């Protein structure tokens, strides 16, 4: 049955307390979410962002407290980020959130519906400087809501997938933290100095031309695809020019490799390719060739000090660029023999990380298919 959002819930706008008043903000106060907090945020629920606000800050702004299970939907900069409130919280003015009427729509169902409504919301947005979905537009946004039993069935399909994805992410976060801390403890040695190319070397990917891109063809990894220490397989660019692909064979990958961003604002971010991936690496994405195995490569690149040093080597006025030569010649404080031992001892953990990434890619694809099927 067709409803306007205002008919199945209350639309809530947010607000920002004055930043001139430090007492309007708190270290452990009321959760206050901005669209930026949902950038690269992949969990269903959220309770706190980068900053909390105080009770006095709430009372002296247009921010409003929303109950748990409210649906947060960013309405500008950018449009269409979605999360559920894990506990009572507030947002800034970049949201038009929904407190659902549970007699008509279950919160989980509304969450998935709005998650799959990004493109529709973008179409109804207006504004000359930047696009925004107004409160009136959100209130009149039309959605299709089935009977409660059908909602429960759809939720029963999607919730286990989302929970498993989040569990795998948590396991990987823990494993990566273990790999990082153990490498720091047993391999980093300030009395040792070696060029990083004793452990791995980097080469920039293939320079595909603008007319090489097509709707179908072989997958190509660009910088935009590197996120959260992995490579997203959603919305990959494609090339079907056989001649160009033959030239790019050196940059053909089959999964399990590590790549690094060599340019732009996200310079130095890394991504592990899931095992189920086959494709090519685009220019300015550095393909890493290990001298031992990718376990040691990951151990090196998880070190904050080493990553910061890599980033500092970037140059360029418009945007920073990191040359493979600069990376390969960079000196690091690493005990090479200890690194070899680490490589052997922790290879099984790296394989587990890859396995979880692979499973998540499969689950994410299934989740997207179900969202397209039912919403």
> Could you give the angle at the alpha carbon of 359 between the alpha carbons of 356 and 363, nearest 5°?
135
Predicted confidence at residue 345, as pLDDT, reads 96
Query: Which letter, b or e, does each residue of 97-124 get, where b requires 16 or more Cβ atoms within 10 Å of its Cβ?
Result: bbbbeeebbbbbbbbbbbbbbbeebeeb
> Could you give the angle at the alpha carbon of 375 between the alpha carbons of 127 and 32, nearest 5°?
55
pTM of the predicted model as reported, rounded to 2 decimal places:
0.89
**Residue 303 CB contacts under 8 Å (≥ 6 apart), including other chains:** 180, 183, 184, 188
**Residue 323 CB contacts under 8 Å (≥ 6 apart), including other chains:** 262, 313
What does the pLDDT average to over 320-328?
Answer: 93
Predicted confidence at residue 253, as pLDDT, reads 96
pLDDT of 223 strictly over 90: yes
Q: Provide the 10 A C-beta neighbour count for residue 330.
A: 18
Beta strands in 35-75 (DSSP E): 45-46, 51-53, 71-75
Residues above pLDDT 70, as percent of the chain: 100
d(CA 17, CA 25): 8
pLDDT of 40 strictly over 90: no
pLDDT of 167 strictly over 80: yes
**Residue recorded with tokens 């220019």:** 283
For the chain, how many helices (H) and strands (E)?
Answer: 12, 24
End-to-end C-alpha distance for the chain, whole angstroms: 13
CB 285 within 8 A of CB 253: no
Smallest CA-to-CA distance from 309 within 319, 322, 297 is with 322
Predicted confidence at residue 4, as pLDDT, reads 97
Would you place residue 233 in the very low, low, confident or very high pLDDT band (cuts 50, 70, 90)? confident
Would you place residue 161 in the very low, low, confident or very high pLDDT band (cuts 50, 70, 90)? very high
CB 126 within 8 A of CB 134: yes
What does the pLDDT average to over 202-231?
Answer: 94
Residue 223 is classified by DSSP as: G
What does the pLDDT average to over 223-240?
Answer: 90
* Strands 90-91 and 30-33, sheet pairing: parallel
| DSSP 3-state of 37 | helix
pLDDT of 274 strictly over 90: no
Q: Which two structure tokens, joined as six digits, stand for 229?
A: 């220490």
**Residue 269 CB contacts under 8 Å (≥ 6 apart), including other chains:** 226, 227, 260, 261
Instruction: DSSP for 139-201, please give it.
Output: HT-EEE---HHHHHHHHHHHHHHHHHHHHHHHHHHHHHHHHHHHHHHHTB-TT--EEGGGTEE
Query: Which letter, b or e, does each residue of 163-192 get, where b requires 16 or more Cβ atoms within 10 Å of its Cβ?
Result: eebeebbeebeebbeebbeebeebbbbeeb
Work out the mean pLDDT of the chain and round it to a whole number. Answer: 95
Q: Provide the 10 A C-beta neighbour count for residue 37.
A: 22
CB 353 within 8 A of CB 176: yes
Domain annotation for the chain: domains and CATH numbers: 2-145 (3.90.220.20), 174-342 (3.90.220.20)
d(CA 78, CA 156): 30
Q: Which two structure tokens, joined as six digits, stand for 294?
A: 């990718």
Which of 123-132, 161-170, 207-216, 324-333 is predicted with the least confidence, judged by mean pLDDT?
123-132
Instruction: DSSP for 319-364, please give it.
Output: S-B--HHHHHH-EE-B-HHHHHHHHHHTHHHHHHHHHHHHHHHHHH
């Amino acid at each position: 049955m067709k409803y306007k959002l205002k008919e199945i819930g209350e639309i809530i706008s947010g607000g920002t307390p004055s930043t001139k008043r430090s007492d309007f903000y708190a270290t452990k106060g009321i959760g206050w979410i901005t669209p930026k907090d949902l950038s690269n945020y992949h969990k269903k629920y959220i309770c706190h962002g980068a900053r909390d606000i105080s009770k006095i800050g709430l009372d002296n702004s247009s921010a409003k407290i929303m109950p748990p299970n409210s649906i947060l939907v960013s309405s500008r900069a950018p449009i269409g980020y979605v999360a559920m409130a894990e506990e009572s919280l507030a947002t800034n003015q970049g949201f038009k959130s929904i407190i659902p009427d549970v007699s008509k729509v279950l919160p989980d169902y509304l969450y998935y519906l709005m998650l799959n409504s990004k493109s529709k919301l973008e179409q109804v947005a207006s504004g000359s400087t930047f696009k925004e979905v107004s409160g009136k537009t959100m209130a009149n946004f039309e959605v299709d809501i089935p009977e409660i039993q059908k909602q429960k069935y759809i939720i029963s399909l999607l919730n286990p997938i989302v929970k498993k994805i989040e569990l795998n992410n948590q396991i990987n976060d823990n494993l990566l933290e273990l790999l990082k801390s153990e490498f720091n403890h047993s391999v980093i040695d300030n009395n040792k100095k070696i060029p990083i190319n004793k452990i791995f070397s980097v080469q920039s990917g293939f320079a595909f031309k603008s007319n090489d891109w097509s709707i179908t063809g072989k997958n190509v990894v660009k910088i935009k695809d590197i996120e959260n220490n992995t490579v997203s397989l959603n919305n990959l660019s494609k090339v079907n020019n056989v001649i160009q692909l033959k030239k790019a064979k050196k940059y053909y990958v089959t999964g399990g490799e590590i790549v690094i961003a060599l340019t732009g604002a996200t310079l130095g971010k890394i991504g592990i390719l899931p095992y189920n991936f086959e494709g090519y690496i685009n220019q300015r994405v550095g393909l890493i060739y290990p001298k031992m195995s990718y376990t040691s490569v990951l151990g090196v690149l998880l070190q904050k000090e080493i990553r910061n040093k890599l980033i500092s080597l970037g140059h360029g006025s418009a945007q920073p660029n990191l040359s493979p030569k600069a990376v390969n010649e960079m000196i690091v404080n690493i005990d090479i023999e200890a690194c070899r031992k680490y490589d052997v001892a922790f290879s099984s953990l790296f394989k587990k990380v890859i396995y979880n990434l692979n499973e998540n890619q499969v689950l994410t694809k299934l989740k997207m298919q179900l969202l397209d099927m039912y919403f």
